[in-house]
A and B are shown apart, each in its own frame.
Chain A
Amino acid sequence: MEKVDNKKDIEERERPREVVEVRVSSHPKMMRVLRAISEEIGSLAGLSEEQIIHLQIAIDEASTNIIRHAYKFDTSKEFKLIFNLLEDRIEVVLEDNASPFQPESIESFDSANSAGGGLGVTLIHRAVDEVDYCVTRSGCNQLKLVKYLAGKEVNNREGIVATGK
């Protein structure tokens, strides 16, 4: 009986309270719009002010990478963002139709010596709690960013318990 309740609890926790889907053109001028949307949805999700800034930074950098590296500034393309608002976190899925990329090919950013290459990806990893990349069955690049609400416990893939940053 307890197991059934636990399963129900888990299902309830994993069911998004709200889902917001946004489709934008791959034009750099759309970044301002995405930042405004990210701020509003971060607030709706219950993130703190600092966490909202971090979410904005991660979404901004991930979108910039799609425009610059995936679509190579071809403004006729578009990409999609899905915001899933859950009880303890917000998940943002970015999806584009460009060729799959090799995450290991990205140079790492060194603050003392770098000219700025790899900084965007570094910022994404530092701004959110989890980052996952995959190619979907339909061949789309899919990047998932997860940000936990402040104070909520995070059980990451290594089994380490931390709190949302």
Chain B
Amino acid sequence: MKVSLRQVNDGISVIDLEGDFDLYSSPKAREVLLQLAKDKVPAVIVNLDKVGYMDSSGIATLIEALRALDKHGGRLILAGLNAKTMEVIKLARLEKVFEIRDNEEQAIASLKS
């Protein structure tokens, strides 16, 4: 899985993930997410637009990042989920635990509102 990080305006960090977010690849994303929490960034958008599949390792990574960011009042928003990734979130009954937006633009808008 490819993991890239970029900054958008007002201190919002966007992590773009590409490929499958699973047991094999989740350590890469975990490292980046936990570093952002350590740096106490105010908001992180995880762009899952190019993620074909996410398993429980991916979800556990996102839960860990959510908890780590929450410690300093930081926010984590998931954007661009497809039918498969959304189904895993629903089966885990986490759709109310995570902030979920259709795409990056909506995620940025909700952080600004």
Contact = CB atoms under 8 A, between A and B. Distances in A.
Contacts of A32: 20, 22, 24
13 contacts: A28-B23, A29-B24, A53-B87, A56-B53, A57-B88, A64-B22, A114-B63, A115-B63, A115-B64, A115-B67, A116-B61, A116-B63, A117-B60
Interface in B19-41: 20, 22-24
Contact of A116 (B56, B83, B84, B88): B56
Interface residues of A, number: 29
A123 B88 contact: yes
A67 interface: yes
A53 B60 contact: no
A111 B24 CA distance: 23
Nearest to A65: B56
A112 B23 contact: no
Nearest to B84: A53
B53 A119 contact: no
B63 A127 contact: no
Nearest to A52: B84
- SS of B interface (majority): helix
A109 B93 CA distance: 10
Given A28-B22, A32-B20, A111-B97, A57 B91 contact: yes
Interface of B: 20, 22-24, 53, 55-57, 59-61, 63-64, 67, 83-84, 87-88, 91-94, 97
Interface of A: 28-29, 31-32, 35, 49-50, 53-54, 56-57, 60-61, 64, 67-68, 109, 111-112, 114-117, 119-120, 122-123, 126-127
Contacts of B56: 61, 64, 116, 119-120, 123
A28 B24 contact: yes
Nearest to A122: B92
Nearest to B90: A126
Given A28-B24, A111-B93, A116 B87 contact: no
Contact of B92 (A31, A53, A111, A117): A111
A115 B22 contact: no
Given A54-B91, A109-B92, A111-B92, 11 more contacts: A28-B23, A31-B55, A32-B20, A50-B87, A56-B53, A57-B88, A60-B55, A116-B64, A117-B60, A119-B60, A119-B92
